[in-house]
């Protein structure tokens, strides 16, 4: 067992086992002779450290370093808990986050200067039984998630109690909780604090109250913090949460008194992830020893077969035989060399990969609707990879991409028509893509460059897909890249859960997903470029005719019938571009999201793709995402002049009922396929 040496050691997220300083004496030999301290004196000073004390001193390990980040961490922990609880109980989450400035010395400072905030998070989840409330909110490392292999946002049971402890440390105020388990049950109000020495809750207040909500939990924390918008802010975190969780309705009251609403666009709970047993490849030797001690099995073979996944009784016997360990040995008696041999044997035995049904992906449609809802763009796509395995842990990568500016936004900057001087150019997009990263649906906002996802984005050759990219940099252009890793155990580089570690298997999966997104983007960009060049062609002539006519007129001494020449030239231009028009129409028949599965294209005329699906309540038993081909209306109009554009966005999508109906039909590939074939042949004919 590891020695408890100093508080500076990074703690393993395991419950601390109280240890007596029995091994102190031999260590003493190294003490310097100059200091006349005896082993006994030193022994007297050596004592146990509680987790809470440890984290009080090392709160940065849990994400409570700067006041700004601490505020975010408090919101994050409370929201994570709310979502995990609601989803596990099968309730579509409805979460309200309220940030309020706490008056200091009787005055309320403006939000940007305030140092104290009250964070209130309310959900419609299952509620918490009365007896558990104090321990969940005021005891570190207490919870349901650590002891099982199941995909969830929280993993350790530190988060919310650490947030409470942070509040207690900085403001001295207790955590206030209201919880109600159902309309018939009473709502309970608690005020709890944590006894940092013992890591035990102290209940200050406990009473039944009237609550206007039929069910749910509300947590209120008063903490020191700093509110600032922009990168890595509470606002950004909530926005990104809403992108990856379109099934959540999120209401956010900013400290400035503004109310932001992130509506639910996907009316289906993600399939509940199943719990699995650990896979033998993913277990380290120390953990293996611990499992040997804790198992309920009486035989080693039974232990192997029942405590691990993918180990059948036959395989267990076989492993014991190869390791020359009696299958009937008591697991507790297996120690030292024999245990190590057994462990090595397991690692060298071929064992089937772990089951992957324990992971619940967000799903391509949900990602699409999340991106579409939050990010203004012209093109959206999403890819869910099939599950894969790293170090015995199943995981799954999803990627999404939103590109471009909405047509209505493109118009704006063109308004001030200022003549350009030499050396001035059309403002080029020096903007770089933004990467938004998620682990089990939770946005990761810090340490981007250390993250495996970020590295995968850099290592993808975006130039192949028509996007600019400097060497070793992010691709350029108005683009948001979405990467999500779902796993029973996400390998973070540190305890504060900020970056995903760089395993080859993970990197490979991310790259594959990004490449698929890139391919679709490239296809879209090429089509758009083709359409734009046709448009430009006609435009050029119209622009220059005027110039040429004026110059000719001056050359002829101002005696030219200008109108006539202009009309003649325009006639030639139209007759010449008449051929182009047909080109354009041809290009347009292939211009929709055909061949672009799981993508949305927003044009001046409206929205093409799967967005209509996302706006409907649908129970679609197709989480793996069989490529769906939304059908295109044959009579799509070619690009019109921008002045004729209709408002894009959800309204436009709603206006296309016919289309959404078609999209819905396309979702049932079995039935729609023959029909579709007919249609295509007809179109060809």
Partner 1 sequence: MATKLKKTTAVEKKLIGLADIVITAADRSKDPTFSIPIRALSNVSFNERKGLIEMGNKKQARSFFNVGMAKKFMQTVLVADALSELQRADLTTSLREIYYRTKHTIKDSHENTFDTQDESDPVIEDLEVSLAALREELHVRAENSGSIVGPVIFGDDGDRVDCARLGKGGYSVPSIVEPEYLEIRRCTADFLLLVEKGTQWNRLSEDKFWRRYNCVLLTGNGQPPRGVRRLARRLHEEYKLPVYVLVDNDPWGYYIYSVVKQGSINLAFESQRMAIPKAKFMGLSSADPERYELPRNVGIKLNEKDIARAKELMNYQWFQKPAWQAEIKRMLTSGLKYELDALANKDFQYLTKKYLPRKLKEKDWLD
Binding site for partner 1 (CB under 8 A): 414, 417-420, 422-423, 426, 536-537, 540-541, 543-544, 546-548, 551-552, 554-556, 560, 565, 568-569, 571-573, 575-576
Min CB(582)–partner 1 separation in Å: 17
Min CB(576)–partner 1 separation in Å: 5
How many residues can be counted in the chain?
Answer: 685
Find out whether 409 and 602 touch, Cβ atoms under 8 Å.
no
Residue 353 or 552: which CB sits closer to partner 1? 552
Residue 383 or 569: which CB sits closer to partner 1? 569
Taking Cα atoms as reference points, which of 209, 226, 212, 241 lies closest to residue 99?
226
Residue 210 or 547: which CB sits closer to partner 1? 547
Min CB(523)–partner 1 separation in Å: 24
- Beta pairing partners, 368: none
Taking Cα atoms as reference points, which of 393, 467, 408, 382 lies closest to residue 604?
408
Mapping DSSP to helix (H, G, I), strand (E, B) and coil, where does residue 210 land?
coil
Min CB(529)–partner 1 separation in Å: 14
Find out whether 217 and 128 touch, Cβ atoms under 8 Å.
yes
Residue 285 or 544: which CB sits closer to partner 1? 544
Taking Cα atoms as reference points, which of 540, 440, 437 lies closest to residue 487?
440
Residue 417 or 670: which CB sits closer to partner 1? 417
Residue 426 or 635: which CB sits closer to partner 1? 426
Residue 8 or 417: which CB sits closer to partner 1? 417
**Which H/E stretch holds residue 590?**
none
Min CB(417)–partner 1 separation in Å: 6
Min CB(560)–partner 1 separation in Å: 7
Find out whether 272 and 88 touch, Cβ atoms under 8 Å.
yes
**Which H/E stretch holds residue 482?**
strand 479-487
- Beta pairing partners, 107: 104
Min CB(68)–partner 1 separation in Å: 41
187 burial via Cβ count (<10 Å: 0-12, 13-18, 19+): buried
- Integer Cα distance of 373 and 83 in angstroms: 20
Min CB(468)–partner 1 separation in Å: 22
Residue 3 or 536: which CB sits closer to partner 1? 536
Residue 551 or 675: which CB sits closer to partner 1? 551
The CA-atom distances, in angstroms, between 587 and each of 540, 595, 639 are 20, 14, 11
- Integer Cα distance of 233 and 250 in angstroms: 16
Min CB(604)–partner 1 separation in Å: 19
**DSSP per position, 276-324:** BPPPGGG--HHHHHHHHHH---SSHHHHHHHHSTT--HHHHHHHHHHHT
Residue 108 or 548: which CB sits closer to partner 1? 548
φ/ψ (deg, to 5) at 441: 70, 5
Min CB(403)–partner 1 separation in Å: 24
Taking Cα atoms as reference points, which of 371, 109, 110, 374 lies closest to residue 260?
374
Residue 35 or 575: which CB sits closer to partner 1? 575
Min CB(83)–partner 1 separation in Å: 48
Neighbours of 619 (CB within 10 A): 6
Min CB(415)–partner 1 separation in Å: 11
φ/ψ (deg, to 5) at 553: -60, -45
φ/ψ (deg, to 5) at 120: -120, 125
**DSSP per position, 30-42:** GS-TTS---HHHH
Dihedral angle of Cα 202, 214, 270, 149, to the nearest 10 degrees = 30
Residue 140 or 569: which CB sits closer to partner 1? 569
50 burial via Cβ count (<10 Å: 0-12, 13-18, 19+): middle
Min CB(408)–partner 1 separation in Å: 19
Mapping DSSP to helix (H, G, I), strand (E, B) and coil, where does residue 179 land?
strand
Residue 65 or 550: which CB sits closer to partner 1? 550
């Amino acid at each position: 067992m590891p020695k408890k040496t100093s508080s500076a050691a990074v703690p393993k997220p395991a419950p601390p086992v109280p240890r007596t300083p029995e091994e102190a004496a031999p260590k003493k030999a190294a003490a310097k002779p100059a200091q006349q301290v005896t082993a006994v004196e030193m022994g007297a000073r050596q004592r146990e450290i509680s987790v809470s004390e440890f984290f009080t001193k090392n709160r940065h390990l849990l994400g409570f370093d700067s006041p700004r980040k601490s505020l975010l961490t408090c919101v994050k922990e409370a929201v994570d808990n709310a979502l995990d609880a609601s989803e596990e109980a099968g309730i579509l989450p409805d979460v309200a986050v309220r940030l309020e400035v706490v008056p200091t010395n009787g005055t309320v400072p403006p939000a940007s200067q305030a140092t104290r905030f009250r964070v209130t998070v309310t959900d419609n989840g299952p509620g918490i039984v009365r007896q558990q409330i104090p321990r969940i909110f005021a005891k570190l490392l207490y919870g349901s998630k650590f002891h099982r292999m199941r995909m969830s946002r929280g993993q350790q049971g530190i988060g919310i109690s650490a947030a409470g402890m942070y509040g207690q440390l900085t403001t001295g105020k207790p955590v206030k909780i209201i919880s109600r388990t159902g309309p018939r049950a009473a709502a309970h109000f608690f005020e709890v604090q944590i006894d940092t020495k013992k890591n035990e809750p102290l209940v200050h207040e406990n009473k039944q109250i009237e609550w206007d909500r039929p069910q749910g939990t509300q947590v209120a924390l008063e903490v020191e913090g700093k509110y600032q918008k922009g990168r890595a802010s509470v606002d950004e975190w909530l926005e990104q949460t809403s992108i990856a969780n379109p099934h959540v309705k999120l209401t956010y009251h900013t400290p400035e008194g503004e109310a932001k609403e992130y509506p639910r666009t996907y009316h289906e709970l993600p399939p509940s992830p199943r719990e699995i047993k650990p896979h033998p490849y993913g277990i380290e030797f120390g953990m293996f020893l611990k499992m040997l001690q804790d198992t309920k099995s009486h035989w080693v073979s039974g232990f192997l077969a029942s405590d691990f996944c993918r180990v059948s009784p036959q395989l267990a016997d076989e492993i014991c035989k190869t390791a020359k360990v009696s299958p009937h040995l008591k697991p507790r008696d297996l120690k030292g060399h024999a245990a190590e041999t057994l462990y090595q044997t397991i690692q060298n035995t071929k064992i089937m990969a772990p089951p992957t049904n324990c992971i619940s992906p967000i799903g391509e449609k949900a990602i699409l609707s999340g991106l579409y809802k939050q990010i203004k763009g012209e093109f959206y796509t999403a890819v869910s990879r099939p599950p894969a395995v790293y170090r015995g842990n199943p995981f799954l990568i999803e990627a999404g991409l939103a590109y471009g500016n909405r047509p209505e936004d493109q118009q704006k900057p063109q308004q001030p028509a200022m003549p350009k001087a030499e050396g001035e150019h059309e403002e080029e997009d020096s903007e770089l893509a933004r990467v938004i990263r998620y682990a089990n649906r939770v946005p990761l906002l810090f340490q981007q460059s250390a993250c495996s996802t970020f590295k995968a984005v850099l290592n993808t050759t975006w130039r192949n897909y028509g996007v600019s990219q400097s060497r070793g940099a992010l691709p350029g252009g108005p683009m948001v890249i979405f990467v999500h890793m779902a796993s029973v155990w996400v390998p973070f580089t540190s305890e504060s859960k900020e970056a995903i570690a760089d395993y080859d298997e993970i990197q490979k999966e991310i790259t594959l997903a990004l490449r698929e997104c890139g391919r679709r983007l490239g296809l879209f960009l090429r089509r758009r470029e083709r359409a734009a060049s046709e448009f430009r062609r006609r435009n050029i002539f119209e622009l220059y005719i005027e110039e040429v006519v004026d110059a000719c007129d001056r050359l002829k001494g101002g005696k030219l019938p200008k109108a006539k020449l202009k009309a003649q030239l325009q006639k030639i231009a139209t007759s010449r571009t008449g051929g182009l028009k047909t080109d354009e129409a041809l290009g347009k028949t292939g211009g929709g999201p055909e061949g672009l599965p799981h993508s949305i294209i927003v044009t001046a005329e409206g929205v093409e793709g799967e967005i209509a699906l996302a706006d409907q309540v649908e129970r679609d038993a197709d989480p793996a995402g069989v490529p769906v081909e939304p059908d295109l209306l044959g009579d799509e109009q070619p690009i019109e002049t921008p002045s004729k554009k209709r408002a894009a966005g959800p309204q436009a999508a709603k206006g296309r009922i016919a289309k959404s109906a078609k999209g819905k039909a396309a979702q049932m590939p079995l039935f729609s396929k023959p029909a579709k074939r007919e249609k295509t042949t007809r179109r060809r004919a």
